[in-house]
Amino acid sequence: MPRGLFITFEGLDGSGKTTQIKRLAAWLEGRGHPVVVTRQPGGTAAGDRMRAILLDAQGAPLAPMAEMALMFADRAQAIAEVIRPALEAGKIVLCDRFTDSTEAYQGGGRGLESATVLELHRLICADMQPDLTLLLMPNFEASLARARRRNTRAQERTGKNEGRFEAEQDAFYRRVWEKYREIAAREPQRVVRIEGDLNIEEVHEQIVETVAERLLLTVKEG
Ligand code: TMP
């Protein structure tokens, strides 16, 4: 059985990942590829509970190390329960955030440093690497404004405030952004950056082009 393809999506809150994941999943399924869509934190029963703790803006404060440890606990569960079984069954996994998010947000944003994050990744995730990471980098201010608007709307609808990260200052997000750039520069083979003022359709086209190329390579190698 050929191993499937592991594709992760990364970017700031409000960068359009969710929309693009849905579009790519539909495109792949339309071509007969079995697809599993998941997200972090969350995506498993235990992970959804960890997500609630991690994103609750009104809950008890979390120390940065506790926050990072929970992100990895969530990821270990997702790998065991969702990601690895799907890849072993030859499926394409589309994952909304993975360890690059921990490196960018906890490593960069919280200042815990990349080395700590990467060391934990080796220990807890057996250094599992995505085949491809699509890093969405639209305009910085527009992304944040969108994420904060969306969070306010969701709070009005559900009464829950899941915006613990959206409430961070712009300086925090600048550090996250810089760390994402650093990761992309360090691993140009794996991380493809999609930048600039593009509309939803244009971003989708770039993603499809990149994924189609990787699929061809996988078929050749398999
Ligand atoms: P999202 O599902 O809307 O992308 O929200 C998840 C939030 O959690 C987002 O603000 C980024 C943050 N996050 C981290 O700080 N570290 C991580 O490792 C992951 C997966 C997410």
Q: Sketch the domain layout of the chain as residue ranges.
A: 5-221
- 101 pocket-lining for ligand 1 (C-beta < 6 Å): yes
CB atoms within 10 A of CB 180: 25
- HSE (CB half, 13 Å, CA atoms) of 181? 10
Q: Ligand 1 pocket check: which of 13, 15, 19, 155 to mutate, most ligand atoms within 8 Å of Cβ?
A: 13
Per-residue confidence in pLDDT tens, the chain, 222 aa:
457 999 999 999 999 999 999 999 999 999 999 999 999 999 999 999 999 999 998 888 999 999 999 999 999 999 999 999 999 999 999 999 999 999 999 999 999 999 999 999 999 999 999 999 999 999 889 889 999 999 999 999 999 898 899 888 999 999 999 999 999 999 999 999 999 889 999 999 999 999 999 988 776 666
CATH 3.40.50.300 fits 5-221, yes or no: yes
What does the block give as tokens for 107?
């490593």
Judge if the beta carbon of residue 121 lies within 6 A of ligand 1: no
Among residues 89, 111, 121, which one has the least CA distance to residue 187? 121
Compute CA 179 distance to the chain's CA centroid, rounded to the nearest angstrom.
14
The residue whose CA is least distant from atom 10 of ligand 1 is: 165
Q: Is 8 in the pocket of ligand 1 (CB under 6 A)?
A: no
Q: 158 alpha carbon to ligand 1 midpoint, in Å?
A: 19
Q: Is the CB of 180 under 6 A from ligand 1?
A: no
Buried b (16+ CB within 10 A) or exposed e, 133-157: bbbbbbebeebbebbeeebeeeeee
Q: Would you give the DSSP letter of residue 91?
A: P
Query: Among 65, 75, 97, which residue has the most ligand 1 atoms within 8 Å of its CB, making it the best to mutate?
Result: 97
Cβ–ligand 1 distance for 105 under 6 Å, the answer yes
Please tell me the residue having the least CA distance from ligand 1 atom 21. 101
CB-ligand 1 contact for 13 (6 Å cutoff): yes
What pLDDT digit, counting tens, does each position of 88-115 carry? Answer: 999 999 999 999 999 999 999 999 999 9
Ligand 1 site, residue 132, Cβ cutoff 6 A: no
Q: Which of 83, 103, 107, 114 is nearest to 7 (CA)?
A: 83
